[in-house]
Chains A and B, each alone.
Chain A
Amino acid sequence: MKLNRQWTWFHRLGSPRWFYQKTQCWLPWLGAIAAILLVTGLVWGLAFAPPDARQGNSFRIIYLHVPASFLALAGYYLMAIAGAVGLIWRIKLSFMLMKSAATIGAALTFIALFTGAVWGKPTWGAYWVWDARITSMLILLFLYLGMLVLRHAFTNHESANKASAILGLVGTVNVPIIYKSVDWWQTLHQPATIKLTSAPSMHPDMFAPLLVMILGFYCFYALALILFTRAEILERERRASWVRELVAEKQGGL
């Protein structure tokens, strides 16, 4: 009996209906906070931060490159964990989050690679270098895309979920490699600007807008994840009575 009560919250948390209804009121707030942070950080970084002594103005790309890479990596963990939770406890919502995270992660990895390439041209003289960091990021992009493509190989939705969750878990090996690549190998890519264990190797005037951008990207990530998952919930649960009632209510209000 006691065990049952303990598990109810867990299962309610995993209920698509609960997620859909709960997130409804968060959306405007998250959207506003993300937009304010991103616009502030970008304007600050592009126009007001001082230029880098060695790289000049091209360093301003950092304000997109670093936050996008951060979230591409953190999002991979989120996706892998969501997949594991789905596999272990058979929670539908977990697989939906995993699918949403794969789409967003692929887009953010693309941003990280694109801004990196464009930054590489004035700094290293080449758009693309087969450096350890860049190559492992490219593998991350393929892992994300693989997650999305693999789904289409299955006609059964459940086996598609399981297979992509396993692919996601196997791919986690790559994430620490990306983090450590700049320390393990002598690479062209500069070492991390921000480390948890030490002060940032950056002037506070340059660092402040970067921090704003990172926070903005985190909020944006949460917003996109919720939006994608809500759309997925409606598609998957369209036969459920609560979804039908919800749509009927909306129709009546029109």
Chain B
Amino acid sequence: MQFDNVQQLLVMDGHGVYVWSAVFVSVCVLIGLIIRPLRQHRRAIKKIARELNPKKTGKLTGNSQEASDASNT
């Protein structure tokens, strides 16, 4: 490793703030790019399931699910 300890790795001779903020923001955006389609996928499946079997799932999830779906679309 180029750095003697974790403290030095974090500080990076004063450049740590820049490097780590770049890393933090990039990683957050990348994770978001994976989570968002996964959520969308799950929501689509729930929606289709409700259309297929309105009684069964309708009782379980109630109206709140319906309302949140409406606001999302």
Contact = CB atoms under 8 A, between A and B. Distances in A.
Interface in B1-25: 1-3, 9, 12-16, 18-19, 21-23, 25
B66 to A, nearest CB: 16
Interface string A155-176: 0000000000000000000000
Interface in A200-241: 220, 223-224, 227-228, 230-232, 234-235, 238
Nearest to B9: A47
Given A64-B26, A243-B48, A50 B21 contact: no
A114 B45 CA distance: 35
Given A47-B2, A56-B15, A247-B48, A231 B22 contact: no
Main secondary structure on B side of the interface with A: helix
Nearest to A110: B29
B19 A60 contact: yes
A238 B40 CA distance: 13
B34 A223 contact: yes
Nearest to B47: A238
Residue among A110, A250, A251 with the most chain B CB within 10 A? A251
A14 interface: no
Contact of B26 (A115, A234, A248): A115
B70 interface: no
B9 A220 contact: no
A58 B19 contact: yes
Interface of A: 38, 42, 46-51, 56-58, 60-61, 64-65, 68, 100, 103-104, 107, 110-111, 114-115, 118-119, 121-122, 220, 223-224, 227-228, 230-232, 234-235, 238, 243-244, 247-248, 250-251
- Across the A-B interface, give the 6 residue pairs with the lowest CB-CB distance, nearest first: A227-B37, A231-B40, A234-B44, A57-B12, A58-B15, A231-B41
Interface of B: 1-3, 9, 12-16, 18-19, 21-23, 25-26, 29-30, 32-34, 36-38, 40-41, 44-45, 47-49, 51-53
7 contacts: A47-B3, A60-B12, A61-B22, A100-B37, A230-B41, A235-B44, A238-B44
